[in-house]
């Protein structure tokens, strides 16, 4: 896939070991250093796992300075029969998705440098993913969307909104697998969310998924290793609203 350049930003695939190391350092900064509580956390400056070797890694850089501002990784799958290869399958029972018969891609470890504020960074990241989806004929995009911290109560308004409007279709819905989960659809079944407050506290990546017609699992997983809470998130490409598709493709083009 060719690099995408928009203004001062460039999105490109990692090509070297050092490119991947740079992504792993940014991931550590965003997911680990942010919540480091002891010396051991503070001295390890990369975030890596075995899945890194199987994934493609996308980098968004400042084309003027070369600084890495954003990164994510993605794992293409031929269809639901390969779903157990995914990162998400460690935390969710995804047996229902085994029946999905089109090409899929899992998007993960998405992060933006904590000092970067320009919304253009998120736009070009999605443009790069859009180009890959179009070029590869992907029919479903999925992943884990993370909330900062491990206390579900801090995100109750957002979870109430997810329960109210964005639960996945029963035929694809993941079942519980992880040892520590928050069954928000059940726990918050009587709570009516404040839409404005809920969306203001929704993680930016998850907001983007929802704007594309994305859906979520009925429970969240507490991940003590990354000190986050995440929900499984899926987007069927054919369900993305036409206006949103045009906007994404305009940037990707």
Closest CA to 228 of 203, 204, 209: 203
Closest CA to 234 of 253, 209, 211: 209
Burial class of residue 119 (count of CB atoms within 10 Å of its CB; 0-12, 13-18, 19+): exposed
Per-residue pLDDT reduced to its tens digit, 167-196: 999 999 999 999 999 999 999 999 999 999
Please give the Cα distance from 12 to 218 (Å, whole number): 34
**pLDDT band with cut points at 50, 70 and 90 for residue 1:** confident
Look at residue 253 in the predicted model and tell me its pLDDT. Answer: 79
CATH number of 165's domain:
3.40.630.30
Percent of the chain with pLDDT over 70: 96
Q: How many domains does the chain have?
A: 1
Mean pLDDT of 15-40: 84
Mean pLDDT across the chain, nearest whole number?
93
- 8 Å CB contact between 50 and 135: no
Look at residue 39 in the predicted model and tell me its pLDDT. Answer: 43
Strand 104-112 and strand 140-148: the pairing is parallel
Mean pLDDT of 65-92: 97
Percent of the chain with pLDDT over 90: 87
Look at residue 161 in the predicted model and tell me its pLDDT. Answer: 97
Residue 252 or residue 221, greater confidence: 221
* 43 pLDDT above the threshold of 80: no
Please give the Cα distance from 142 to 145 (Å, whole number): 9
- 């550590």: which residue's tokens? 28
Radius of gyration of the chain from its Cα atoms, rounded to whole angstroms: 18
User: Whole domain around residue 114: which residue ranges?
Assistant: 4-252
- 8 Å CB contact between 175 and 219: no
């Amino acid at each position: 896939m060719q690099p995408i350049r928009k203004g001062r930003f460039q999105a490109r695939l990692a090509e070297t070991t050092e490119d991947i190391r740079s992504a792993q350092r940014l991931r550590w900064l965003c997911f680990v250093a942010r919540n480091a509580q002891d010396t051991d956390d503070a001295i390890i400056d990369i975030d890596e796992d075995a899945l890194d070797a199987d994934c493609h890694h996308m980098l968004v850089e400042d084309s003027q300075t070369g600084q890495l501002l954003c990164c994510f990784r993605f794992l293409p799958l031929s269809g639901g029969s390969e779903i157990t290869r995914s990162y998400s399958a460690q935390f969710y029972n995804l047996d229902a998705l085994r029946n999905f018969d089109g090409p899929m891609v899992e998007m993960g470890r998405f992060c933006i440098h904590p000092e970067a504020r320009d919304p253009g960074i998120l736009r070009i990241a999605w443009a790069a993913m859009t180009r890959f989806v179009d070029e590869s004929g992907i029919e479903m995009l999925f992943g884990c969307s993370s909330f900062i911290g491990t206390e579900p109560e801090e995100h109750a308004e957002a979870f109430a909104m997810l329960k109210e409007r964005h639960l996945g279709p029963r035929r694809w819905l993941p079942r519980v697998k992880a040892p520590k989960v928050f069954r928000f659809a059940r726990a918050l079944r009587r709570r009516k969310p404040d839409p404005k407050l809920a969306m203001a506290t929704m993680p930016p990546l998850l907001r983007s998924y929802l704007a594309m017609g994305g859906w979520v699992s009925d429970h969240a997983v507490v991940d003590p290793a990354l000190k986050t809470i995440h929900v499984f998130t899926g987007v069927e490409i054919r369900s993305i609203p036409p206006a949103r598709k045009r906007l994404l493709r305009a940037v990707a083009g």
